[in-house]
Each structure stands twice: as C-alpha cells, then as structure tokens.
Amino acid sequence: MKRWWTLGRWALKADFRHRAQSVQFILFTAVATYLVYSVAPSPSPTVWLALLWVVVLFSAMQAAFRAFHEPESLWAYLNQLASPAAILGVKSLQVAVHTLLTAAAALLLFGLFFGMPESAQSIEAVLKVTVALMLGSLAFAATMSFTSALASRAGSNPTLMATLSLPLLLPAVLVARRASSLAVANQDWAELAIPLFGEVVMMGLPLALGSVLMPYLWKQ
Amino acid sequence: MKNGFSIAWKTAAAALVCYSLVAGLAAPVPRLFILNETIRNLYFHVPMWFTMIALMGVSLGHSIGSLQRPGQAGLEADQKARLAAEVSLVFASLGLFTGMIWARFTWGAYWTNDPKLNGTAVAILIYLAYFVLRSSVEDPEKRARLAGTFNIFAFVLMIVFIGVLPRMTDSLHPGNGGNPAFGSYDLDSGMRAVFYPAVLGWIGIGIWIVELRVRLTRLSK
C-alpha cells in the first residue's frame, strides 16, 4: 500500500510539473468539440451522443498514451520501486482521472455549444447522462491503460496503441452507447441499472485481467 | 498408439464433414417462411464460427503456454498460437462470407447493425491487431510475451462481447431478441443430426490444418 501511495504521489507531482501537457487534453477536447460544432451545429439526439462519445474516446486515447509514454530510465527506476501490477494500478488511476476530466469538459462544452437534447433538459436527466458518461469513460480508461502499457513495451507507437485499443473498446462503446441513450431519453433509473452495471463490468474486467497479465508484460 | 488415435480422429473429422456436406444439401429441412431453402446455411455457416472460436481457444492455450514456459519451448508455443490464430481468421472469413450471402437473401442486406455481426467484426479486428502487434516487435522473446498477453486479454473481452452482450440486446439472429432458436427449427426434422456432426467435423478439420501448418513451419526452418 505504501508503494502505491509513493507511486501515486509521484504521478501527481509529475502531472503538476507537466501541467501544460495535462491542459492539452482539455484543449484537445475543446478544439474537437468546436470542430464538430462547425460541421454539424444542430445534430439529432443520436448524433449528439455519437459525437460526444467520439470526442471523449479520442481524448481518452491521448491521455492513456501519454501515461505510459515515459523514458526507459524512468521505467527502470519505477520497476525497482513497485510491482508491475501496482504500476498498472496507479497508471490506470492517472488515466482515469484525465479521462474523467476530459469527459466532464466534453459534456460541459457540448451543453454550451449544442445545448442538451430536448429530452435531457431536466437536472435529473443531466445527472443520468453524467453518470453514464463517467462510467463509460472509466471503462475506456481501464482498457486503454493496458493497451497503452502494451504499446509502450512494443516501442511507444501511438498508431499501434490505436490499432490495439479500438477493437477492444467496441464492447465498452456499445454498452456505453446503450446506457447513455437511455439516459438522454430520461428513462427511469431501474431501466438504466443493467447498462450501467454493464459499464462497471467493462471497467472491472480489463482491470482484473490487466493486473494478472501485467507481470508477464512488464518482464524485462 | 498415438499415431493410431491421430489417424482415427482425422478420418472421423473428414467423414463427418463429407456427411454434413451431402446431408446438408440433400436431407429434408422444415419449410419456413422467408428462410425456405436458405435454412441449409445453418450447416455451413454456423460451424465456421464454432471452429473459429475453438481455434482461438487453441491459440489462447498456446499463448498461456508461451508465457509460462521460458526459452525455446515458449517460442514454439508462441508459433503455434500464431498459426492457430491465422487459421481461425480463415474460418472467420468463411463464416462472414457465408453469413453475408445468407443475410442478403433473408434480411435484404449484406450487413446490418446486429450485435452478432458487430461481434464478428470485433473478433476479426482483434486478431488483425494481434498480427499488427506481432509484426511491430523484432525480438522473438519479447514478441512472444507481448503477443501472448494481448491474446489472453483480447480473447476474454471478445468472449464477453460475442457471448454475453448479444443476449442483452435485440438481434435478428435466431435465438435472440424473440427470434426462435435452432431448437425450434428441428422439431420436425433431423437438422440436429446434420448440424452437430458438421460442427465437430469442421473443428477437427481446423485443428488438423493448424497441425499441418505447425509441421510445415518446422520443416521450412
């Protein structure tokens, strides 16, 4: 636990030192949202959701790639400090925080530029959309943390990371789409429960698998 | 003894496939609205998916072996995992092709936004990504390790996707979203007597092809 804490503190400090890079994700989200707004200023609720997920997905991918994009010397130092599973755990947490921030920024910007869809104007509906979006983003972060670790071992190639991640993310995308569609339609919490649980499963499964496989992946 | 068993299962697999090809085209089938004679595609299309999954399972088993065994044994297991994945992709393509032709005549389109079709697309894309990963690493031991971990990670997520998620949503496929499953079709016919031998036979043929490819790769070295 002490090692987790040390690693977490180190990641937080590193993020603070390179805060310009952290702000980049938000900026990327803002630019992507504005670009989307310029192309389709008044989308239907389905298109609104699809665009939101596309922006969140690619922002999350940036965050995940950066988390494992470190020099070899630093990895050598971290390997002495903590186990591979702990490194993955802390890095996943770091990716999750960045992804949640970018998802929140994307939702805010979409609300600002496009407005919320007509059926999702009430506070309760916005809350449902937010929960579905956050859980979906966490599912993305969990899968992409592992693929980012894999890509970093294979030579830190961003194209490789996208190639490995996108097919694996499709299940999470489909579950998240279902949850968020119901949320946008302001369905009851009881209706939303199963897809939201699906999002939690799509977050927990990659994390559990990743922590089992990480020692093999991280072996020097 | 081992040689005798090997000949027996290969002969059985070939015989089952021959039987399913003949019976699949000639045996009587239920007369169902829209499906008509295309119901026979069950004997040729579905076994491809069963074989694909079985061979991906074989590939997964070898990947686990490659991670557990160090040195040359691990590299050999990794080679077998690659070859099984390659052959499984061939069966995936055959399943996709036979399914698309069938869909054109029954659903009116080659491709629909169906959870099972999405699952197929994911399975194929995952294994294409597996080959991209392999080709991007030069060192054989590192390649075996990275490809092995990706194979295990991807296989589990894929099984959740193609096995669990389609049951949570509506699908045009029989057995999902209120459509009758295979069991409803064969109540008045011997479809089951053709379908199961076809599945077993094609899985056997798939494993045989992998075995031949392993031997060929060994010889070419």
From CA A208, how far away is CA A142, in angstroms rounded? 9
Closest approach of A213 to chain B, Cα-based (Å): 6
Mean pLDDT of B32-49: 84
Cα A178 to Cα A46, A111, A140, A146, B157: the distances in Å are 11, 20, 15, 24, 18
Is residue A50 within 8 Å of residue A85, measured between CB atoms? no
* Res. B153: pLDDT tops 50: yes
Q: What's the one-letter identity of residue A14? A: A
- The pLDDT-based confidence of B119 (bands split at 50, 70, 90) is confident
Tell me: the pLDDT tens digits for A3-24?
777 777 777 777 777 777 778 8
Q: What's the one-letter identity of residue A86? A: A
pTM value is 0.85
> Containing domain of residue A26, as a range?
2-218
Show the tokens assigned to B164.
């669990």
Contact between A205 and B154 using a beta-carbon 8 Å cutoff: no
From CA B162, how far away is CA B85, in angstroms rounded? 17
Tell me: the pLDDT tens digits for A91-130?
899 899 999 999 999 999 999 999 999 888 889 999 999 9
| Residue carrying structure tokens 């026979």 | B40
Range in A100-114, A186-200, B111-125 the model is least confident about: B111-125
* Res. B70: pLDDT tops 90: no
B157 contacts on A by Cβ (under 8 Å): 143, 168, 171, 205-206, 209
Is residue A172 within 8 Å of residue A199, measured between CB atoms? yes
Closest approach of B216 to chain A, Cα-based (Å): 28
From CA B204, how far away is CA A147, in angstroms rounded? 33
Show the tokens assigned to A61.
């991918």
Of B129, B148, B154, the CB nearest to A216: B148
Range in A54-58, B48-52, B149-153, B161-165 the model is least confident about: B161-165
* Res. B66: pLDDT tops 80: yes
From CA A95, how far away is CA A64, in angstroms rounded? 5
Neighbours of B71 (CB within 10 A): 8
Cα A67 to Cα A56, A120, B39, B174: the distances in Å are 17, 34, 51, 44
- The pLDDT-based confidence of B167 (bands split at 50, 70, 90) is low
B126 contacts on A by Cβ (under 8 Å): 167-168
Q: What's the one-letter identity of residue A43? A: P
Domain boundaries, chain B: 18-220
Show the tokens assigned to A136.
């979906």
Contact between B136 and A216 using a beta-carbon 8 Å cutoff: no
From CA A135, how far away is CA A79, in angstroms rounded? 30
Q: What's the one-letter identity of residue A47? A: V
Mean pLDDT of B170-189: 54
Does residue B216 or residue B157 have the better pLDDT? B216
Is residue B74 within 8 Å of residue B65, measured between CB atoms? yes
- Number of alpha carbons in the 13 Å side-chain half-sphere of residue B184: 8
Is residue A199 within 8 Å of residue A128, measured between CB atoms? no
From CA A43, how far away is CA A110, in angstroms rounded? 11
Q: pLDDT at position A197, please?
A: 92
Q: Name every residue whose Cβ is closer than 8 Å to that of residue B15 and which is 6 or more positions away in sequence.
A: B201
From CA B198, how far away is CA B19, in angstroms rounded? 8
B169 contacts on A by Cβ (under 8 Å): 178
DSSP string covering A73-93? HHHHHHHHHS-HHHHHHHHHH
- The pLDDT-based confidence of B184 (bands split at 50, 70, 90) is low
Could you report the predicted ipTM of this complex, rounded to two decimals?
0.84
Contact between A171 and B157 using a beta-carbon 8 Å cutoff: yes
Q: Is A194 on the interface with B (CB under 8 A)?
A: yes
Q: pLDDT at position B171, please?
A: 61
The residue in chain A having the minimum alpha-carbon distance to the alpha carbon of residue B139 is A154
A178 contacts on B by Cβ (under 8 Å): 169
Cα A185 to Cα A121, A172, A174, A191, B193: the distances in Å are 10, 20, 17, 11, 47
Helices (H) and strands (E) in chain A, counts: 8, 0
Q: pLDDT at position B168, please?
A: 60
Closest approach of B114 to chain A, Cα-based (Å): 11
Q: pLDDT at position A6, please?
A: 77
Mean pLDDT of A143-160: 87
From CA B163, how far away is CA B143, in angstroms rounded? 29
Q: Name every residue whose Cβ is closer than 8 Å to that of residue A29 and which is 6 or more positions away in sequence.
A: A55, A56, A59, A102, A105, A106, A109
Contact between A166 and B125 using a beta-carbon 8 Å cutoff: yes
From CA B14, how far away is CA A92, in angstroms rounded? 49
Neighbours of B179 (CB within 10 A): 12
Contact between A160 and B150 using a beta-carbon 8 Å cutoff: no
Mean pLDDT of B49-71: 93
- The pLDDT-based confidence of B113 (bands split at 50, 70, 90) is confident
- The pLDDT-based confidence of B178 (bands split at 50, 70, 90) is very low
Mean pLDDT of A197-205: 92
Is residue A195 within 8 Å of residue B138, measured between CB atoms? no
What DSSP character marks residue A208?
Answer: H
Show the tokens assigned to A129.
């959309």
* Res. B177: pLDDT tops 80: no
Mean pLDDT of A135-149: 93
Does residue B183 or residue B144 have the better pLDDT? B144
What's the total number of domains in chain A?
A: 1
